[in-house]
Structure 1
Amino acid sequence: MTGTFSPAIPVYLGAALSYRFPGQSSWTNSNSTQRIFPGSANVTVPLNLSPTPLIEQSSIAIEIYASSVPPGATIWLRWGASSAPSLVVVPMSDYEGLFPANIITVQDRAGNIPPYFYLDAAPPNNYVVVKAFVFSALGTTEIQQGRVNMTIHDPNGRPVRGATNLTMSIATSTSPYEFIAAWSYPSNSTQGTYLVYIDMVDSQGNLVYSFRGPGGTFGLVPPGFVPFPYNILPYLVVAGVGGIGTVGGVFYYRRRSKSYLAPFGHFNTLTAGELDGGTVSIEGNTGSGKTILSEQLMFEDLKRGRPCIFVSTSDFPSNVRSGMKSMGLEVKGYEQSGLLTFVDGYSAEAGQESTEKFSVPSIGDLTTLGMKISSSLPPQRSKGTSLYFDSLVPLASKTKPESIVSFVQSIGAKMKGIGGKAVFTLGPSVDPMVQKQLEDMSDCVVQMEAFEERGVRRRRLKIAKLRARRHQEGWNVFAIEDGKGIIFYSKKPKT
């Protein structure tokens, strides 16, 4: 900065940073000035900025000006010249992250999501594939010039060889951007639980986001591994009887265990009776049976003459009807009698016109969705009506996490107020904080899991929470059969 100055009049260099959200005409400004003196000098003008949550397509403007310039004075501003390096530093954060928030996927090479991997797997079946969806408010160029790195930690907390600060490959060119990395684990790896860490580095080398869980875990297990509690079920603990081994004076011997097939009514044995009014959360990974469980619970209500509303956000209602029919759950008669009503939250998202009496143009509009649910209550006989909502997962990308919690709380209270229950299904892609809040407010929490055991696909569930009632704890194995739905494996014969 050079010029001719009058010593009697101070001159100031001013700077302003302004931002404007998309669609708005007014700017929000932050200004500051710095006095300058005769002669050449480098000038720094700091601006005090409060953290500002910008959104995509926001506009930012930088302004530099001189004020109180005396008459006849001349000021030259050398900006960007080699003799006068110039720059604007705008501290930013949270402009990159995972989408949905804090969620990554651990798969095998076939795209399945197993809870663990066998150490004796032969190449190429010994690959752990990690996928992450990333958003960037600064667009594709920033994503391509930056890096997304993956590090896998073994059960002892040490980074593993071949997956330490490994740069993930970008697989898509539109937001959210899919990143993929794979680790080929050696057969002599330490058995136990492994953790996946994700770090995002921007084009300037700044660490802008780190993922450290929850989630992002997998297990490496030896051949023949059987998960808890199945690894202890076939054993009896006896004293003073010879067996295959002893620990602390207690003897164990293995017996051939028997299991009996039990129809869906066995579920009421697990819950010590029918589920009363309130909020029920059904959680589980992909393929664990969340939808069929909610459908069978609803069918039991319909058989008892209780009105039901089914909100479908993951499939067309027509597919829900046909799927239930294939499981022996024919609902046509209940619809004709007015006991069952569908609310279509899927067709509009799929770009098709709904054929249902009740539908919503967008599942992200929770106000309209709540109004449609209220409108679908059977007139003159709404008492005892229950709501079945499958699923909350599509809402995660359409609305704020706190809005989902508020919506579930409001709908659950409404259904409980008329003597019914509200049943919601949710998967692992729902924000962990949202899931925790839903569990806290729920009267009942059912956890389900699909897993592989010695190459065989299996399913199990447990009642993780049931307010004010004693219930059976622990996992219960079940199967899904055409024409029958859920069939439990019970240790006691059905009488």
Structure 2
Amino acid sequence: GQFQVGLTDSLTYHRTDTTSIQAIGYRSGENITIRMTSGSNSVPGFPNWGSADSNGVLSYLWQSPPGATTGSYNVTLQGSTTVKAVLDTQLFTLFPTNITIPQLVVARTALERTETQTFTFNPVYLSGVAVQSGTVTIILVEPDSTTTHYATASYSLINGMFLASYTIPLTSQAGSWAASIRAASFNDGYGNIGPLVGVTHGFSVQPAQLSILVSVQNKTYSPSDVMAIYASVHSPDGSQFTSGTVYAVLTPLNSATRIGSEVSLYYVSSQARWVGSTVVNSTDPAGVWLISVNASDTYGNKGAGSGVAVVNGSIIQPASEPLSLFYFLLVAGVVGGGLAGTLLFRRLNSTDAPFEELYAMTGGQFQPPTSLMIRGESGSGTTMLGLQLLHENLEAGKSAVILTYDSFPSELQRQMKGMGWDVQKYIDNRSLQFIDCYSALVGGETSIKDPIDFTEVSIQVSSKVGEAKGPVTVLLDSFTPIFNSAQVRHAINFLRVLAAKVKNDGGFFILTGTRGSLPEAVESNLESVVDGVIDLQIVRRGHRLIRFLTVKKVAGHQIGFVEKEFKVVQGRGIVFRIPRLDVGFLERK
């Protein structure tokens, strides 16, 4: 039989242990074949070879892998020249190993809800070799010691350690949380188990501090204007805050005095933001308003943000002075009265002219099919000019559609009624129809689900244009909110297609908007979409606000490049101011 000698340093090992093999009695430098088997199978990597040292001693080390077969192993050695009466052979047994986790590490000792906690640890076998396979469940327990969550950790080659992450829910409990790996819950995939003792690490969860971005339309508000308030509310992880209470408080800048009551905001999923609105009253203070928005929920998550809006007071228009004997006497006084008299004369040398004065500037009335853009500062009268052009066409027996992005339809009806225009009869016989996009923008109910879904809007415009018996005037008021909510190229394309659609049916397309609200390149691109451009301006002179109109272009018309003053008069609409007398002699004087 075979005589076993002590070739290995132990008769039993655990996986990943190092087996030391040593034998004597060989010639110096002799090549020796090393064979290792498990049962009837050779162990991967064997046979192998080694050389005896100068003393004829062979020394060889073998470290078993984590997934090595357990059970009995046999090692045999055979020299290339030395023949031993009894072969060098040795039996030993390999067992599964245990896994130890020294500690569980958390990336943050305190974090807010919706933020992500990261867990890391470095497990090792009994031999001290690092574990690089398998998974383990980390158990997370909320402060009530009952509510439990789970995160699965696995090995990260990039980080060289086991890693797991867990995002704290917005509705979870605030306070001290515990993360733990229970005893014997780790398996490396080869049947090696651990840890013998569980590990735990605590951390603190705090309510989420919500971030709020507040915005309003880029305009100056006047009495009776609807101020839409938009708030983008985000949790600490950047996700949308969609359920809770959000409201706005309005105050003058640098004052705690409230303006009106709280404004409730509602989440509009199609816009991914909270929306609310209020109406500017004539009794509200003018100036810069601070819009403070607060958000909270029943779980204690909260946040605040603010924005500003500019509000003007009532625009007071001077009454028209009658042409009287005093006026002619004044002229005589001015002729010899010097500069002061001339300035006074110019102020009084004006009278009202009807709306038709506009066509003297545009080189005649607008002849469909055509398109017109009316731009101006807030309060300069862009909407009113568009409505008056539309009303003229209604009076001429044509149909009209108003596409609202800046006001409720009822607000536009109120404005037209204030100008003395009876539009209810046109609404009743469907000569005048509204497509209400503004209500959808501020979170209200309307037939338009998404005002920035330009396909849906175009379909509705086409439907209403198709109902009419002849060419239709389409007023879009205004383009500013469209560019605030959609990508520029999509907005430009929508307006271009809409203008072409209306003109193709022989109609008149009018769009209004705030001048300066878009980059110069975008405004220039927008000008190329339309056939005509009218610019309105409002300037302050002393205690008076004065409006001016300039015609920039009208395709196919000889226009007058002059700036004319106008005003908006209740019961009449737009009225121009023109000289009573030719003042050329004053210029020559």
TM-score, with length taken from structure 2: 0.42
State the structure with more CA Rg.
2
